[in-house]
Amino acid sequence: MDDPRTGQIRALIEPILADRQLELVELTCRPAGGQVIVRLLVDRPGGITLAGCAQANQAVSTALEATNLISESYTVEVSSPGLDRPLTTKRDFERCVGERLRLTVAEGEGRTRELLGTLLAVQPEPEAVVLKLPSGNVTVPLAEIRQAKKAVQW
């Protein structure tokens, strides 16, 4: 269970991250081993570097210290969400326009199909993604996507 202060921490750090052109992908705040762990996953178009994570960590730590939102001992951890993280929100897809994605799409009666293609666009109404496949473009409603990840090529 997340710490009840998570919302206050989010409100404090989102502007700090935005000033650095970073987006908060995920925030957790949980007790662990006698202290509180504040864990942030941050990203930016084109990805984030280790130095960018370190700078964000310093800025967030300074802000938390100044506001005293967490009175007990705490540790701030900032990292990238990673290449193979699932895409779950409209914003996740918007960040991936132009990239190759692997989608698992519901087809009804418990069946799914896998699509591999380049994300061309994210449509606002109805919420959907447009993929370029070898057979042509296809529009997939976000509600039908069961799993989505970047297609990592080696």
Give the domains, in start order, of the chain with CATH numbers: 6-79 (3.30.300.70), 90-150 (2.30.30.520)
Q: Which two tokens stand for residue 131?
A: 């993929």
Distances (CA, A) of 110 to 4, 23, 107: 37, 35, 7
pTM of the model: 0.66
The number of angstroms, rounded, from the C-alpha of 112 to the middle of its chain's C-alpha atoms is 24
Task: Name the β-bridge partners of 129.
Answer: 122, 140
Tens-digit pLDDT profile for residues 28-70: 998 888 899 999 999 887 788 899 999 999 999 999 999 988 9
Q: Cα angle vertex 42, ends 40, 45, to 5°?
A: 175
Tens-digit pLDDT profile for residues 71-121: 899 999 999 887 777 888 888 898 889 999 999 999 888 899 999 999 999
Distances (CA, A) of 111 to 13, 101, 106: 41, 20, 6
Give me the pLDDT at residue 109, please: 86
Distances (CA, A) of 2 to 28, 62, 110, 142: 6, 22, 33, 27
Alpha helices in the chain (DSSP H): 6-19, 50-67, 90-95
Give me the pLDDT at residue 153, please: 64
